[in-house]
Amino acid sequence: MRVLGEVLGLVRDLALPPRCPGCGEIVGAAHRFCADCWSSLHFLGPPWCAGCNVPFSHDRGPDVRCARCLADPPRHAGVRAAVAYGDVARTLALRLKYARRTAYAETAARLMLRHLPAEASLLIPVPLHRGRLWRRGYNQAALIADHLSALSGVPEIRDALQRHRATAPLRGHSARARRLAVRAAFRVGSDAIAGHHVVLVDDVYTSGATTDACTAVLLRAGAASVTILTWTRVIGDETAD
């Protein structure tokens, strides 16, 4: 299924001109946005919280943490995202996830690459349950991790994490409900994690319930650290689909 999807994607790319991932306008090369969509993207980076990487409005110093991290320090080593969640970022994520625009995984990875930690030694995608993987045909997080690995040279283990328990979609649930839904849903499927500085790859970061559950499992398996790296991140009152 994965190979067939990649072949069909290659044929489509050869037959059709490259288009902006945000609006569909013809652009000069693959993985580029048109001027309007590019200018509307909110790129994330410092100054940000030293604990969770939520952006600050001004520089507060290199080791300053937000109020949430001070009250409840996260177990992960940060949540890094290429862009804030918005119309264009949402469109790319939805087309990648549901419309089989698998080439957009590379588009996302290219913009995520700048946030890959220098100490990263292993990439692990957030897994799908086998039932959802069978219905969709691919895991968008794994496709992004494939391209990040190719671009950076950092190795990837696709099956290092397994989602052995199916969970209902989390959209619209409270933070507590999300945490309960994914509790005990993941397990380690590889013994090659111990001592690694793991980068957990996903497409969208919303409440952190899924990645927190993954982080806990990876740390129990001996990971030295877990940094979360995503295409887009919900900031403030935005809601993700």
Mind listing the pLDDT tens digit for each residue in 114-148?
999 999 999 999 999 888 888 999 999 999 999 99
Supply the angle between the helices 87-98 and 140-152 in degrees, to the nearest 10: 110
pLDDT at 185: 76
At position 151, the amino acid (one-letter code) is: L
pLDDT of residue 198: 98
The pLDDT, as a whole number, for residue 188 is: 92
74 pLDDT above the threshold of 60:
yes
Q: What pLDDT is stored for residue 131 in this prediction?
A: 86
pLDDT tens per residue across span 7-38: 665 565 566 789 999 999 999 999 999 999 99
Q: Closest Cα partner for 49 from 33, 37, 61?
A: 61
- Give the ranges where the chain is alpha helix by DSSP (H): 2-15, 35-40, 67-71, 87-98, 104-112, 130-136, 140-152, 175-182, 209-220
pLDDT of 143 reads: 98
Q: Does the structure show a pLDDT above 60 at 239?
A: no
Average pLDDT for the chain: 89
Give the whole-angstrom CA distance, residue 187 versus residue 161: 6
Q: Which residue has the higher pLDDT, 196 or 5?
A: 196
Mean predicted confidence (pLDDT) in 58-75: 92
Q: What is the pLDDT of residues 146-193, one digit of tens each?
A: 999 999 999 999 999 988 776 766 565 556 666 666 677 788 988 889
Residue 53: the pLDDT is 96
pLDDT at 15: 65
Residues 69/173/160/138 CA torsion (nearest 10 deg): -130
**What whole-number percentage of the chain has pLDDT above 90?**
73
Q: Which tops the pLDDT comparison, 67 or 168?
A: 67
Q: Residue 55: pLDDT above 90? A: yes
Which domains occur in the chain, in start order? Answer: 42-233 (3.40.50)
